[in-house]
Amino acid sequence: FAQMDLCIEAFGTSKQKRALNSRRMNAVGNDVVNTAVTKAAANIIDAKGVTALIQDVAQDDVQNISLFLPPCNEDADKPENVYKFEDILSPAEYEALRVPAAAFVNITPEEIAKKTEDKSHCSFVLEELKFLPDDEKRRDHKARCLWFLDTLIKFSYLKVIKRKRPMGPECPHIISRKLMRNFTSLTYNNGSVENLVSASMKAKITAYVIALALHINNFQIDLTILQNDLKLQESRMMDIAKAMRLKVSKAKGLLELKNDQNHKLGTLSLPLPVQKAPGNQRKRRKMN
């Protein structure tokens, strides 16, 4: 084509030259259009990602929170069957925790003191490590639960996840996969798909942390300690706890309360409280 075009430019009739110019102008026009379409598509993809984030942040009422709770068995005959352990950790995932949790099983008071000083684990876990059962099987069980709970809380601090194993090489592959599949949402950014710990995923992580903490601590937990560990606002924590049908009360007579906070206790007991309508509806009516 290039040689033919040169011949037309040099020796062609005026009609051929007009046709050549027209074809060249069309080619340039097509390039411009193609570039514009590609750019517009990229902008839409990026905008869609941002829009998804904005919508996610807006999902903070109890109705939406309920979408992210562990399966709730309302007909349970005892508290441990309301949120079944197998719905939090499958048998294969639980088995995989044996190796990383071994460090907790044999932990000494000196090591706990050092970890507390370093803040290498969350407060709830550090406190519970002081009270590991003497019985070998129960001790191993609690250690595995605490290791996973600590990992879940640390995972909640991440924003955009770029690595396949964000919690490091000591985290078993099956647990890394669980975190990525169950506790991140996909969003578009600069034309590529990213895993994100969005607002709704943070709510989901919180719900699973609460459910696991209930199993660890005999179905009564200090919600304020977990709220601080998860870096949440109190109102958000209480919304999630109430959506999970916990009875919330003020903790009385607890020593060593940080910053003189009024700690809130969450108790899972039967019969479950009746699910109330979302608290944000009143605010919305005012806005309308």
Q: Give the pLDDT of residue 17.
A: 80
Q: Is the pLDDT of residue 165 over 80?
A: no
Query: What angle do the packed helices 234-243 and 199-216 form, to 10 degrees?
Result: 60
Q: Give the pLDDT of residue 287.
A: 42
Distance in angstroms between the alpha carbons of the first and the last residue of the chain: 66
The SS3 of residue 264 is strand
Paired with 194 in beta bridges are: 187
Q: Which residue has the higher pLDDT, 178 or 16?
A: 178
Average pLDDT over residues 35-39: 62
Q: Which residue has the higher pLDDT, 285 or 41?
A: 41
Q: Is the pLDDT of residue 4 over 80?
A: no
Give the separation between CA 271 and CA 256, rounded to whole angstroms.
32
Give the separation between CA 153 and CA 207, rounded to whole angstroms.
11
The SS3 of residue 215 is helix
Q: Give the pLDDT of residue 286.
A: 42
Q: What is the mean pLDDT of the chain?
A: 81
Query: Under a CB-based contact definition with an 8 Å cutoff, are residues 116 and 258 in contact?
Result: no
Q: Give the pLDDT of residue 281.
A: 45
Indicate the burial class of 45 (C-beta count within 10 angstroms; 0-12, 13-18, 19 or more): middle
Give the separation between CA 265 and CA 218, rounded to whole angstroms.
12
Residue type, 54: I
Predicted TM-score (pTM) of this structure = 0.74
Q: Give the pLDDT of residue 64.
A: 64
Q: Is the pLDDT of residue 43 over 70?
A: no
Question: What would the two tokens of residue 111 be?
Answer: 């090591």
DSSP symbols for 161-199: E-SSSTT-TTS-HHHHHHHHHHS-EEEEETTEEEEE--H
Q: Give the pLDDT of residue 288.
A: 39
Q: What percentage of residues in the chain have a pLDDT greater than 70?
A: 77
The SS3 of residue 146 is helix
Q: Where does the chain show beta strands of DSSP type E?
A: 160-161, 185-189, 192-196, 220-222, 247-250, 264-267
Map out the domains of the chain as residue ranges: 1-48, 63-267
pLDDT digit string (tens) for 231-288?
A: 999 999 999 999 999 998 887 655 554 555 678 888 998 888 877 654 444 444 444 3
Q: Is the pLDDT of residue 147 over 50?
A: yes
Indicate the burial class of 115 (C-beta count within 10 angstroms; 0-12, 13-18, 19 or more): middle
DSSP letter (8 states) at residue 77: S
pLDDT digit string (tens) for 50-107?
A: 555 555 554 544 456 677 899 999 888 999 999 999 999 999 999 999 999 998 998 8
pLDDT band at 31 (very low <50, low <70, confident <90, very high): low
